[in-house]
Amino acid sequence: MTITDQVETTKKPNPNAPTQETVLSVQHYTDRLFKFRLTRPQSFRFRSGEFIMIGLPGENGKPLLRAYSVASPNWDDTLEFYSIKVPDGPLTSRLQKIEQGDAVLLGRKPVGTLVLDALTPARRLYMFSTGTGFAPFASLIRDPAVYEAFDEVIVTHTCRDVAELAYSQETVEAFLADPDIGEIGAGKLRLYDSCTRESYPRTGRVTDLIRSGKLFEDLGIPRLDPATDRAMICGSIDMTKELKGVMESHGLKEGSNSEPADFVIERAFVG
């Protein structure tokens, strides 16, 4: 036996290394968006709304990983993700080509602030999202714990084009129609979507729809009030910054895992 052989045989496996999961299904929505499902290791635990690192083996042997919100709820046997396709993106230029049976790397430490634990009790929960920022809410709206904690749940989704709203519409409709679990959201969950560039029944940015009061008129509910309302926000940096200002102007305070309060924020991507 050579010294190299000895070093290799005594090397311990890295307990934090990603696990290799299998792609179960892939569905493309537009040339910019797709969803996929992976096998879920039995040991993988997360809170609905959290994100995890996922990726593919890199060309240099090091894994190429990016943060992704888990879009499926924590009770699900498999893991769903909703993804952008960035044409020159190091990961998504390759990830968009995955097919059933392919391998995808899954990190071991889910984290995040878009969790029920970071909010104090109230009557109504808003989830405000743009683009792939809907992903953590796709997880939360399918979690019974959300409906135990809140009487009313309003999830908003704003995109540029109508076709980009398909995933949120499909997810909400499928959940409410599910014979096993849909009943828990019936009469409580409402999707309020809008488009910024194409003609649609609701047009404009959610911040403008809040400021003008149209969102509240359309839904038939009072304006934001810290006594009754809590919010989760996930979108671009501009959207999250602007909505934070809107929340604060209505008297809501930002919370975190260590200090639960009235609203929480997570950026849907960096850059």
The least distance separating ligand FAD from the CB of residue 259, rounded to whole angstroms, comes to 20
Of 135 and 176, nearer to ligand FAD (C-beta) is 135
Between CA 217 and CA 240 the distance in angstroms is: 23
Of 91 and 119, nearer to ligand FAD (C-beta) is 91
Q: Which residue is nearest to ligand FAD (CB)?
A: 89
Please, which residues have CB within 8 angstroms of residue 257's CB and are 6 or more apart in sequence? 113, 115, 117, 118
Give the type of residue at 2: T
For residue 158, give Cα distances in angstroms to 17, 136, 147, 163, 243: 36, 15, 23, 11, 13
Please, which residues have CB within 8 angstroms of residue 8's CB and are 6 or more apart in sequence? none
The least distance separating ligand FAD from the CB of residue 54, rounded to whole angstroms, comes to 9
The least distance separating ligand FAD from the CB of residue 163, rounded to whole angstroms, comes to 15
Of 111 and 261, nearer to ligand FAD (C-beta) is 111
Of 216 and 269, nearer to ligand FAD (C-beta) is 269
The least distance separating ligand FAD from the CB of residue 34, rounded to whole angstroms, comes to 9
> Phi and psi (nearest 5°) for 25?
-160, 155
Residues at the site binding ligand FAD, with contacts judged by CB under 6 A? 51, 66-69, 82-84, 86, 89-93, 131-132, 135, 266-271
Contact 114, 232 (CB under 8 A): yes
The least distance separating ligand FAD from the CB of residue 22, rounded to whole angstroms, comes to 19
Query: What is the maximal distance between C-alpha atoms in the chain?
Result: 77
Sheet with 189-195: strands ordered across? 189-195, 152-159, 124-130, 229-235, 263-267
- Number of other residues whose CB lies within 10 A of the CB of residue 116: 21
Of 188 and 267, nearer to ligand FAD (C-beta) is 267
Of 39 and 92, nearer to ligand FAD (C-beta) is 92
